[in-house]
Amino acid sequence: MIRLGLALAVALFAPLQNPQPYSISYHLAMSRPASHMFEVTVEVTTPAGDSTPYVDFQMPLWQPGRYSVADFAANVQEFAAQSQGRALSWTKIDDQTWRVQKQGSRSVTAVYKVFGDDLSGTYGQLDVGHASYTGGEVFMYVAGHKSDAVELHIQPPNNWRVVNGRTERPDQHDWQYPNYEIMIDNPTEIGPDWTEDDFKVEGKTYHVVVHSRGDEGGRRSSFVRDIEKIVRAEVGMWGTPEFDNYTFMIHFADDDRSSDGMEHLTSTQIIQPGILADRETYYDALTTVAHEFFHAWNVKRLRPVELGPWDWTRPAATRGLWIAEGFTQYYGVEMYHRAGFEDSTNFLRDLSETVETIENSPANRLMSAEASSMAAPFIDSALHRQRTNLGNTSLSYYLKGELIALNLDLLIRNWTRGQRSLDDVMRRAYDEFYVKSPNASYYLKGRGYTIEDFARITSEVAGRDMTDWFAKYVRGVEPLPYEDALSGVGLRLVKSAQSQPYTAGIVIDRDDRQVVRLGSLQSDSAAEHAGLQQGDVLLTIGGTPVARDNWAATLNRYKQGDRIPITVRRFRRTTELTLQLGPPELFEYRIEEIPNASADAKRLRSAWLDAR
Ligand SMILES: [Zn+2]
Ligand SMILES: [Zn+2]
């Protein structure tokens, strides 16, 4: 709620703070690709009579879609400033801000280099093969003038071509954007050997830009046709999109490492670690396509109130990522199914796996969906130098949100006898907050929603007051009402102990490949009660020497109530302890059909599972 107040304050007072916009123009060059150095020039002209004695150039701490702090300023080097050939003095006033004194000039030019060598949806890469960047990791904004229109000019190396989600003609090197936030929402590929394939759906043009660093196996044309199937399924749900062009920017990195998917207003950036010729990589890419394209509506346009315009000097605190990411996760799986890539059995198995992950998670009764969203700066690819307990205390807003979506979808279908579904909630929210709301800020059309807004829309569609439901399952940590939700469509959740139901709360340190070293143990677990602690090296269980690949099987020879002698090495000494197993800890979850379900339930099930 604090952030809502801030967003409104920015919208109301921004015109007073910035009576006259600056003229801001960016130049991006990359004359030495092997150096990984992006060369950036920012030209700023202030209006006559502007009394501010300096211009502040600021690197954002993060950029949209990844909520942990990225500290882009760490890769800035060789900053300098001048005006018409005259050097201007500047100082670094904090970790992200370079203050340039105007010294009587109206125009200020800042130049700097940015090192980038990560193929990622957040960081940039320049190497001898290409340049790939998103925006915030390369471009500083002018503090106080983030809302001003900006220009961008790109100077690629010889024979390298430039493409992004706002390319309108071949050989385009210049762009104009209504504000900085829109400029950095446009990942760009620059290189000699990317390909482009196009198709149209309902009069809109879709571009598929592929940069393959490995073998495509002749599969690109079928890949593009399969993307079209996903586009048709999603447009079928949302209706014709408002954009004229949309670009899938896809890397097949062939490095077993680089992997990402990032949503943008008129594009998505997808990075696969494998090659297109590989079947698994091919279908992984399609599932990511299904997820990211759904974001063109959910999060990029229909958005939580905290998501834009942004304060880039601190991480965002967002309550609604379980909708923005979690519902997108649900629909990504659903649209992959609706597009015909996965039959109902496999679709239900996918959902069962998410139930299993969440229900077996130690944080499931500790962290709510809303709290998980607020923890995003700590859990979304965040790096921690201190030891944290997040393994015990944090839950994925992707997966918990997926399950909230599943439950809501099925309950609404049941309560409305199949007249409505979660699709109606999404469409109605998109219409009210994006299409029909007056613009709340310079950033984008419409306004962001609060959780209360979203609960109201859900109530309207469901035909009942959902306030308590949100209190229990979104803000609270009560077990989701699977039985109610699934039985309405003739399904049930079957829970049984896994074949190896015990870990005793032991988590193995993945970084130590030599021995069975304990990582962060689960709270209140048998291992913790036995006196085990992080760093202990497990030697024997019940007298049997154990290694990384057999300790779990050895432990699972025992059952509830057994007292098991174990030995560990701790501080160079061997210590003996006794582990006592409690009830089974890990369960298998399977969504299956109820035999003899009612005809009504079967009809609702078919409407859900067989939708095309
Ligand atoms: Zn590339
Ligand atoms: Zn996403």
Q: What's the gap in Å between 275 CA and the centre of ligand 1? A: 13
* pLDDT the model gives residue 611: 82
Q: What spacing in Å lies between the alpha carbon of 297 and ligand 1's midpoint? A: 26
* DSSP-assigned states of every residue in 585-610: --EEEEEEEPTT--HHHHHHHHHHHT
pLDDT for 268 equals: 98
Q: 266 CA distance to ligand 2 centroid (A)? A: 15
What pLDDT, on a 0 to 100 scale, did the predictor assign at position 19? 64
Per-residue model confidence (pLDDT) at position 73: 98
Find the ligand nearest to 323 CA: 2
Strand order in the sheet with 161-164: 125-127, 130-133, 188-191, 161-164
CA of 188 to the centre of ligand 1 (A): 9
Span from the CA of 357 to the centroid of ligand 2 (angstroms): 18
What is the predicted pLDDT for the residue at 612? 73
What's the CA-to-centroid distance between 116 and ligand 1, angstroms? 13
pLDDT at 167 (0 to 100)? 97
User: Which residues of the chain are modeled with pLDDT < 70?
Assistant: 1-19
Ligand 2 centroid – CA 329 distance (Å)? 7
144-185 pLDDT, tens per residue?
A: 999 999 999 999 999 999 999 999 999 999 999 999 999 999
Cβ neighbors of 475 (< 8 A, separation 6 or more) are: 368, 369, 370, 451
E-only strand ranges, 178-332: 188-191, 195-201, 204-212, 245-252, 260-263, 267-272
pLDDT attached to residue 5 = 43
In whole angstroms, give the CA distance from residue 576 to residue 564.
10
Closest ligand to residue 321's CA: 2
CA of 373 to the centre of ligand 2 (A): 13
- 164 DSSP β-pair partners: 188
Whole-number Å distance between alpha carbons of 330 and 369: 14
* Cα(325) to centroid(ligand 2), Å: 5
CA distance 133 to 187: 6
pLDDT tens by residue, 502-532:
999 999 999 999 999 999 999 999 999 999 9
107 and 40 in contact (C-beta within 8 Å)? no
Measured CA to CA, the distance from residue 425 to residue 435 in angstroms comes to 14
Task: Give the integer Cα–Cα distance in Å for 402 and 260.
Answer: 19
CA of 2 to the centre of ligand 1 (A): 40
Q: Measure 423 CA to ligand 1 centroid, in angstroms.
A: 35
Closest-approaching ligand to the CA atom of 131: 1
Rounded to an integer, what distance in angstroms lies between the CA atom of residue 322 and that of residue 328? 9
- Rounded distance from Cα 177 to ligand 1 centre (Å): 23
- The reported pTM is 0.95
Please tell me the distance between residue 167's alpha carbon and the centre of ligand 1 in angstroms.
Answer: 16
Question: Could you tell me the distance, in angstroms and rounded to a whole number, from the CA of residue 4 to the centre of ligand 2?
Answer: 23
List of E strands, 117-232: 125-127, 130-133, 141-142, 150-155, 161-164, 174-177, 188-191, 195-201, 204-212
22 C-alpha vs ligand 2 centroid, how far in Å?
34
- In 3-state terms, what secondary structure has residue 110? strand
Give the ligand with the smallest distance to the CA of 288.
2
pLDDT of residue 1: 42
Q: Are strands 204-212 and 245-252 parallel, antiparallel or unpaired?
A: parallel
List pLDDT tens digits, range 191-227.
999 999 999 999 999 999 999 999 999 999 999 999 9
Model pLDDT for residues 476-485, shown as the tens digit of each residue: 999 999 999 9
The two tokens of residue 121 are: 């949806």
- The rounded Å distance from CA 585 to ligand 2 centre is 30
Q: How far is the CA of 71 from the centre of ligand 2 (A)?
A: 21
Q: If you measure from the C-alpha of residue 248 to the centroid of ligand 1, how many angstroms do you get, rounded to a whole number?
A: 13
